[in-house]
Every structure is written in C-alpha cells, then in structure tokens.
Chains A and B, each alone.
Chain A
Amino acid sequence: MYFSDVGIISLILATGFAILAIALSIVGALRQQTPLVASAKRSVLAVTFFLMLASASLIISFLTHDFGLSYVAQHSSLSMPWYFTASAFYGGQEGSLLYWALMLSVFSAIFVITSKRAPAALVPYVTATLMAIQIFFLIMLITVSSPFVRLPVPLADGVGLNPLLMDPGMLVHPPMLLMGYMSFSVPFAFAVAAMITGQLGSEWLRSIRRWMLAAWAIQTTGLILGAWWAYHVLGWGGYWGWDPVENAALFPWLTATAFLHSTMVQERRGMLKIWNLSLVFLSFALSIFGTFEVRSGIISSVHSFAYSAIGSYFLVFLAIVVLFSIGIFIFRLPKLRPEQEFDSALSREGSFLLNNFLLLGVTFATLWGTLFPLISQAVTHSTLTVGPPFYEQVNGPIFLALLLAMGIGPLLAWRRTSTRTLWRNLSLPAFAAALCAAVLPLLGVRNVWANVAFAVCAFTAGAILYEVWRGVRVRHKHGEAYPIALFMLVNRYRQRYGGYIVHLGFVLLAVGVIGSNFFQSQKDAVLAPGQSVNISGYQLIYLGNVDEKYPDVEIITAQLQVWHNGQLQQYIYPARQFYANYSNQPASQISITTYDLTDLYVFLANWNGLSQATIRVFVNPLVTLVWLGGVVMLFGGIICWWPERKRRKRSVSSENESVEATLAVARPAEDEQTSRPARQEEEATL
C-alpha cells in the first residue's frame, strides 16, 4: 500500500460524493426539501475532504521521493530543495489538474459554508453546477490524466523539474493563475442557477458580483506574478510577450472586468441583463479555453511544458459548456426584459457601454491574433507567427481609448449629465494633460506616441484625483480632518472609491508599460576583464567569471561594477545555472538593480572560460511602476470586495459605529446646518 493508492481511492470517493451532491441538490430543489439540500452541502464538504486527501497523498509521495510513481519521477529529483519538490505538485499536467480540482472543491466548500448569504432558491443549483464541473475534472484525473500511475519498476532518481520552473516565481505564479481560471466557475454556477430558477434579483447580483470580483482579483495577481516571473527568468528584458498562453490568461480577466462594469448598470437601472449573463458565460468558457490551451500544445508557446492528448477532452467539455449556455439562454430569454429605459448616451451607463465595447474589442482582437496561426495553417498550409508587433499595433490604441474613457466615465452622472458640470470637471484634468504634453518634450521625450499616451495618463490620473479631492473637500467642510475624510470616504463608498484605486493602479501600470516600451535601451557586449560598456549614463566594468561546481548544478557567475555619475553604485552578479538533468537548458540568474524607477537589467548571454563574457544590458525606465500599479490595482479590488456593513450592524459594539455615534452626538447643532447641504453637494459631485 502506497500513499498514491490513498490518492486514487480518494479521487474515486470524491467522484461518488460529487454525483451524490448533484442528485441530492436537484431532487431537494425540485421537491423543495431542505434536508436534502443540506445533505448535498455536506456531500460537497466530503468532496473537498477527499480532494485534500488526494492532494496530500501526492505531496507526501513527492516529499518521500516515491519514484515508483510516474508523476513524481518525471517532475522531481533527489537533489531538489524540498520547496521545489513540493511545488512540483502542480509542475506537470496531471498535478495541475488535481490542483484545479482541489481549488474548485475549496471554493465550493467556501460557497457552501457561506451559502446563507446567497439567495436560498439558487443554492442547490449553484452546488449542482459546481459539482458537475468538478466531475469533469475528477473523471480526467481518474482516467486519462492520473497523477497516481505507478511505474512497473521504480526509478533510482527522478528526472527533475524544468530549470525555468525552478524559480521562486514558480512557487506562486502557476497556482495563482490556475486558481484564477478555476474561480470563474463560481460566477458561472451562479449564472446557471439564476437562469434555471429565473431569479435574477439584486441579491443574486450582489452575490455574483462579489464572486466575480474575487475571481478578478485572483486573476490580476496571477497575471502580475506571471509578468514578474517572465521578467526575472526569461532574460529578454520584458515582462509581457503576447504569448498565446499569456493571452489566454488575459481573456477571462478582460471579460470579467467588462462584467464588473456593466453589472453596475444592471444594479442601478435594471438594464443589460442578457449582456451581463453572456459576459459571465464567456468568462467561464474562456477560462476553460485557457486551462485547455496551456496543456493541449495546439499553439506553440514558451509555456508548453507538457503536451498531451487531453486537449480533445477539454474541447468536448468546452463545447458542452458553450452549447449548454446557449440553450439555457434561449430557454430564459422571455424573462430577461430590461426594467428601465435608456435616457442619454452622455451618461454613466453610456460610458459603461463604451468600456464594455473597448474591453471586448481587446478580447476579440487578441483572440483573433492567437487563433490566426491555426486558421492560416488550415487555409494556406503555411506556418506564420502573430507576434507582439501585431498586438501592440492593434491593442495599443484600444487600451489608450480605454484609459481616456476611464478618466471621463466617472465624471458622467447616471441617466443624463449636464454638459455644464461636465466641462467644468473636465477642465482641470485637461489642463494636467496639456501640462504633461508640454513638459515632456522639454525633458527630452521626442516620441509623439509616448507623448500622447503620457498625456492621456495625466488626464485620467488628474480626473480621478480631482474627483477624490472633491469628495474629501466636502467631508472636510463637514468637519473632518483631511486624512480621516479620505479614509471615511473610501470606507463609506467602497465600490466607488475601491474602483478609483483600481483605476489609479491601472494608470500607474500604463505609465510603466509606456515607459518601458518606448524608452527601453539595450546593448550587447563581449567583454574581457577591465573592459566596460556604457548605456544610458551607466557604466558597467567587467571583472571576470567565477565557476562553481556542485554535484547537481554548475553555476557560472560574471562579476561587474556599476558606475553612475562618476560613482561606484554596486557590484552585480548575473549568472547561469546548469542543472545536471537539463544541461542543454541553462537557467539564468538575471541581475536586476533598480535606481529610482529605472531598472538596470543584466543578462549573461555567453561566456568563455573565466575571462570573457557576453552580456546583454537593458535599461528599462519606469518598469517599477508596472509592479506598483499591479499592487495598487489588487488593493483597490480588495477594497471593493471587502464585506459590506451587514456584519458590522450585527456586532453591537463595532468601533466604527460607536465613533460615528459619538460624532453625531457631539455636534448636533453643527450637523443640522452643515451636513445636509454638504451631503447633497458630496452626492452631486459623485
């Protein structure tokens, strides 16, 4: 009896409980018997338990180096440190599918445990949908893609992990991204449940919104970590290559972003129901497409670490999902009538439509670019590549328009905007844009597109900050100090101000992308000790190489000095590592040093003995802002997502509440005079 046997038995039991959960919840819902639904919930918890057991048995097999297990032998070796050995769990296809299923079961458990908050009629159908998705993955794991297949003869040592994956980024990036893909299942399940029951009320909208926001935040983290991993490992000085797999991760993120915006129209005005539901279905279908594309190998990519035949199974699953979604739509179409009419194109809802149009424009252009090689192959039988220049030329202008709309949109009111207020609110950001455009050429920025893009960033940042400032000012008049006013404003209107923080983060990210795209400089040099290379004001003096040999890995390190403005800044050590099992794939240790917002990126491309090195140096201005912007976006997303007051009301002596109360008692006279007009003014500016 091996641990892997526990794993396979757990998977089979999990499948059984998943089927049971579906049966119980559907029968319970149809006959309206709550005990059955409660049993279904417990079955979901059992599925979670058995998937945890299966995952634990795989991890234990890794840590105990059970090389009789094919998956362990292929993805780890005795010499790997324990953390990479454990993370090899999701290093291959079988393990990553198990991880997907595990995360889905954990999310299902979280849903079941918190299901009191969701509309009761929907719960059984959400459960059933989640378990149906789960069953697909479980069947894959038991039949065609099992991580628990044993070898006839155990190996003495494993093959080890691809060196590209032996990186700290590997510990966090793939699990985040897989979890991101998985997390679109919950909104999908909510959408299916709403379609079956016909209940698409405000309560449903709140639930689905929060789950979608969670998925969005996870996917954002996965994308940023992926970019960071690429930047630190791949050695071409960039962080986003429009690789098919990167694109695939971007698709559900884009459609989820579109959903989070257009759903506000539904919340306020009861419109766009069909559209919002299609965005949920689309997000889920695209996330399945993403999971499938990484593994299928139909499109060549830097991420294709594992090819296999499971692609066709995923294709069938994807087809089922799409057909099911379309069918359920046709079934429910009569119930999905808008409650209110549209008043004016120049309104908040109009700007959300524009937002959706642009986001879907990026999605379809990118999808088209990703699939075009396949189409071309089928039609003309010639291979071709759709590389970054295509995406930059097509998506660049759309993103720029999106950035501009991001500045104008929040200034528009619901229903209809008076042009007077609009012009007034636009003038300050427009001034900021003009100032930015005028100053940049003086600073030596001569590229007109960079100038346009930076000016748009200045406009949007100006518009958002001005908007926040107006809110803070009103609260300040109301008697609060500025920092408190800012905090209270964000705390009170979390969705709105969390959204602004996300937008500010996106502007920062855009500035970083523009800076590093337009102003990157690059140099290759072959150096002997004492020789130096100059780039953008930095001087690198080469000192020599060091060769360290360990039993399983050989590390060649080049030593260089960095000089800037006549001063020695520091020593840097770009290196290459040769793992014994992957000697033709040297991993690189790139030296990245950050001076203010500029990265000095040094990659050891080649070497000859101990006294010659070919280095490739990049100077990447503003790259730091990409990471900073990503963190800010995530922070804003969390603020939007953070649970609403409901819970605070229940707890009697919550701090915020008592402070509010004393505030109100302390200044009753003042309040009555100032707070009402102040409040109205505040709301009017919003």
Chain B
Amino acid sequence: MKRRNALLLIIVVVVILAAIWLYVLLLAPSRETLDQREYDVGSQLKCLVCQGESVADSPATLSLQMRAIIRQQLQEGKSEQQIIQYFQSRYGNQILWSPPKQGFTLLAWIIPIAMLIGGALLLILVLRGWLVGARTPKSATDDGNDWDEEHEEHIDRTDLAQFRTRLEQELAADDPMYARLSKEVSS
C-alpha cells in the first residue's frame, strides 16, 4: 500500500511539473525587449576582428555598428533568422558563431546526436546481454513489478541471512566498535 502511495505521489508531482512547465511555455507572454532581441541575434554572430567573442559581447567598433544594424532591422520588423541571413549573405559562413544546420556543416550537429543515440543503443545492448546472462529464465515473466515483490519475499527468508553476515564482516572491518559487537554475537 505504502509503495502505491509513494508511486502515486510521484505521478502527481510529475503531472504538476508538466503542467507548470506547459503553462510557462505557452501562456506566459514573451516579454522580450528590443535590447534582449538585439542581444539574441548578436550572440549568434561572430565578431570578425576579435578573438573568441560574439558580436553581442564584443566592444569593437565593427560590432557596435553591426549591433546598430541589427536593432534597425528588428525595428523594421524583420525576423531574427532574416537578419542572420542578411549578415551571412554579406560576410559568408565565417560570420556565424555556430555552424549552420544545413549542407556539410549539418554534420557538426548530427554526429554528436548520432553518437549519443548509438552510445545509448550500445549501452542497452550490453546491459541486455549481461542481464540475459544473469537472469534465470523463470524470472522473465510479463509483469516486472510483481516479480520484484515476489523475489524480495524470497530473499527475505534465504539470502538475507547470508547477506547480513557478509555485511557485518564488512562493517566490522571498518568500525572497531562494531567489531566488538559482532564478535559477541558470533560467540
């Protein structure tokens, strides 16, 4: 029963979390000021005369001029993407602070994601291989939860005593106070 309560609580919590995040995402108005939008665009462009700085971060004159252009175009109602394309058409790909998600440079984005997915698959395969090797066939019932509980009961009676002795030995190695105690118990 207790377990079901805890599980229920967690489900409720997760639902609440999802609701809050959805609310924030959908309903809260986007209150981006012009300054913030200018910064957002600028931070996606590279400062060409600096070392490792974006247009938004750099104090160079060229960057100041570019920021003024960004602001002007934003006021004209252009989208952020359009402004970035405007700069890309004038300066080429080197103006972009991160590789564009198209053509050859799409690889920059795809490879890490592909490696992550591949790694996850490999991890699952390895785990499954180990688990199949470890589990006895009878344990492969449909309902995993039931099996868990059943198995725990089983452990209670037989394995636990063994486990306890091992635990005590390990603890005794750590703790002089405990060593004394377990000696008394065993004698």
In the complex, the answer to whether B59 meets A385 with C-beta atoms within 8 Å is: no
Q: Is B17 an interface residue (CB 8 A)?
A: yes
In the complex, the answer to whether A448 meets B24 with C-beta atoms within 8 Å is: yes
In the complex, the answer to whether B21 meets A437 with C-beta atoms within 8 Å is: yes
- Across the interface, name the chain A residue whose C-beta is closest to B133: A341
Q: Is A603 an interface residue (CB 8 A)?
A: yes
Q: Report the minimal beta-carbon distance from B112 to chain A, rounded to whole angstroms.
A: 4
In the complex, the answer to whether A424 meets B21 with C-beta atoms within 8 Å is: no
Q: Out of B3, B24, B25, B93, which one reaches A423, CB within 8 Å?
A: B3
In the complex, the answer to whether B115 meets A364 with C-beta atoms within 8 Å is: yes
Q: Is B70 an interface residue (CB 8 A)?
A: no
Q: Report the minimal beta-carbon distance from A309 to chain B, rounded to whole angstroms.
A: 22
In the complex, the answer to whether A675 meets B181 with C-beta atoms within 8 Å is: yes
Distance in angstroms between the alpha carbons of A452 and B23 in the assembled complex: 12
Binds B, one of A62-70, A180-188, A217-225, A232-240: A232-240
In the complex, the answer to whether A372 meets B20 with C-beta atoms within 8 Å is: no
Number of A-B residue pairs having CB atoms within 8 Å of each other in the complex: 194
Q: Report the minimal beta-carbon distance from A520 to chain B, rounded to whole angstroms.
A: 9
In the complex, the answer to whether B20 meets A426 with C-beta atoms within 8 Å is: no
Contacts of B140 in A (CB 8 A): none
In the complex, the answer to whether A616 meets B59 with C-beta atoms within 8 Å is: yes
Instruction: Please report the total number of A residues contacting B with Cβ < 8 Å.
Output: 81
Knowing A344-B131, A386-B108, the reply to whether A361 touches B116 (Cβ < 8 A) is: yes
- Across the interface, name the chain A residue whose C-beta is closest to B175: A492
User: CB-CB contacts of B174-186 with A at 8 A, as 1s and 0s?
Assistant: 1111101100110
Distance in angstroms between the alpha carbons of A492 and B6 in the assembled complex: 31
Contacts of B161 in A (CB 8 A): none
Distance in angstroms between the alpha carbons of A677 and B167 in the assembled complex: 13
Q: Report the minimal beta-carbon distance from B97 to chain A, rounded to whole angstroms.
A: 4
Q: Is A154 an interface residue (CB 8 A)?
A: no
- Across the interface, name the chain A residue whose C-beta is closest to B116: A361
Q: Out of A236, A301, A433, which one reaches B17, CB within 8 Å?
A: A433
Contacts of B141 in A (CB 8 A): none
In the complex, the answer to whether A606 meets B21 with C-beta atoms within 8 Å is: no
Q: Out of A437, A441, A664, A679, which one reaches B28, CB within 8 Å?
A: A441
- Across the interface, name the chain A residue whose C-beta is closest to B129: A342
Q: Report the minimal beta-carbon distance from B41 to chain A, rounded to whole angstroms.
A: 12
In the complex, the answer to whether A660 meets B176 with C-beta atoms within 8 Å is: yes
Q: Report the minimal beta-carbon distance from A388 to chain B, rounded to whole angstroms.
A: 7
Knowing A441-B20, A522-B39, the reply to whether A345 touches B99 (Cβ < 8 A) is: no
Q: Is B105 an interface residue (CB 8 A)?
A: yes
Q: Is A608 an interface residue (CB 8 A)?
A: no
Contacts of A357 in B (CB 8 A): 119-120, 123
Distance in angstroms between the alpha carbons of A605 and B177 in the assembled complex: 65
In the complex, the answer to whether A423 meets B99 with C-beta atoms within 8 Å is: no
Within 8 A of A (CB), among B87-142: 92-94, 96-99, 104-105, 107-109, 111-113, 115-116, 119-120, 123, 127, 130-131, 133-135
Knowing A387-B54, A418-B148, A438-B16, the reply to whether A671 touches B181 (Cβ < 8 A) is: yes
Q: Is B143 an interface residue (CB 8 A)?
A: no
Within 8 A of B (CB), among A593-619: 603, 605-606, 614, 616
Binds B, one of A18-26, A36-44, A167-175, A374-382: A374-382
In the complex, the answer to whether B46 meets A385 with C-beta atoms within 8 Å is: yes
Q: Is A300 an interface residue (CB 8 A)?
A: yes
Q: Is B73 an interface residue (CB 8 A)?
A: no
In the complex, the answer to whether A434 meets B13 with C-beta atoms within 8 Å is: yes
Within 8 A of B (CB), among A633-680: 657, 660-661, 663-664, 671-672, 675-676, 679-680
Q: Out of B104, B105, B178, which one reaches A679, CB within 8 Å?
A: B178
The main secondary structure of chain B at its interface with chain A is: helix
Q: Is A420 an interface residue (CB 8 A)?
A: yes
Q: Out of B7, B17, B99, B185, which one reaches A384, CB within 8 Å?
A: B99
Contacts of B98 in A (CB 8 A): 385-390, 393
Contacts of B54 in A (CB 8 A): 387-388
Q: Is B80 an interface residue (CB 8 A)?
A: no
Q: Is A499 an interface residue (CB 8 A)?
A: no
Q: Is A307 an interface residue (CB 8 A)?
A: no
In the complex, the answer to whether B123 meets A241 with C-beta atoms within 8 Å is: no
In the complex, the answer to whether A431 meets B13 with C-beta atoms within 8 Å is: yes
- Across the interface, name the chain A residue whose C-beta is closest to B185: A676
User: CB-CB contacts of A417-436 with B at 8 A, as 1s and 0s?
Assistant: 01110011011001101100
Contacts of A424 in B (CB 8 A): 2-3, 6
Knowing A390-B98, A437-B21, the reply to whether A398 touches B116 (Cβ < 8 A) is: yes
Q: Out of A372, A423, A661, A676, which one reaches B176, CB within 8 Å?
A: A661
- Across the interface, name the chain A residue whose C-beta is closest to B26: A448
Q: Is B10 an interface residue (CB 8 A)?
A: yes
Within 8 A of A (CB), among B138-174: 145, 148-149, 152, 164, 167, 171, 174
In the complex, the answer to whether B104 meets A379 with C-beta atoms within 8 Å is: yes
In the complex, the answer to whether A441 meets B24 with C-beta atoms within 8 Å is: yes
In the complex, the answer to whether A341 meets B51 with C-beta atoms within 8 Å is: no
Distance in angstroms between the alpha carbons of A679 and B109 in the assembled complex: 51
Contacts of B104 in A (CB 8 A): 376, 379-380
In the complex, the answer to whether A301 meets B51 with C-beta atoms within 8 Å is: yes
Q: Is B9 an interface residue (CB 8 A)?
A: yes
Q: Is B77 an interface residue (CB 8 A)?
A: no
Q: Is A322 an interface residue (CB 8 A)?
A: no
Knowing A341-B133, A431-B13, the reply to whether A236 touches B57 (Cβ < 8 A) is: yes
Q: Out of B133, B167, B177, which one reaches A683, CB within 8 Å?
A: B167
Knowing A372-B108, A441-B23, A663-B177, the reply to whether A300 touches B127 (Cβ < 8 A) is: no
In the complex, the answer to whether B134 meets A341 with C-beta atoms within 8 Å is: yes
- Across the interface, name the chain A residue whose C-beta is closest to B176: A660
Contacts of B20 in A (CB 8 A): 434, 437-438, 441, 451
Given A423-B6, A434-B20, A664-B180; 13 other pairs, CB 8 A cutoff: A236-B57, A364-B112, A380-B104, A419-B148, A420-B149, A420-B152, A430-B10, A437-B16, A616-B59, A671-B177, A672-B181, A676-B185, A679-B171
Name 25 A/B residue pairs within 8 A (Cβ), A-sorted: A237-B57, A243-B52, A301-B52, A342-B131, A357-B120, A361-B112, A376-B108, A382-B94, A387-B54, A387-B98, A389-B97, A390-B109, A419-B148, A424-B2, A434-B20, A437-B17, A448-B21, A451-B20, A492-B174, A524-B64, A661-B176, A671-B177, A675-B181, A676-B181, A683-B167
Give 7 nearest A-B pairs by CB, closest first.
A342-B130, A365-B112, A387-B97, A605-B59, A423-B6, A390-B98, A420-B3
**A: which residues have CB within 8 A of B?**
235-238, 241, 243, 300-302, 341-345, 350, 353-354, 357, 360-361, 364-365, 368-369, 372, 376, 379-380, 382-390, 393-394, 398, 418-420, 423-424, 426-427, 430-431, 433-434, 437-438, 441, 446-448, 451-452, 455, 492, 522-524, 603, 605-606, 614, 616, 657, 660-661, 663-664, 671-672, 675-676, 679-680, 683
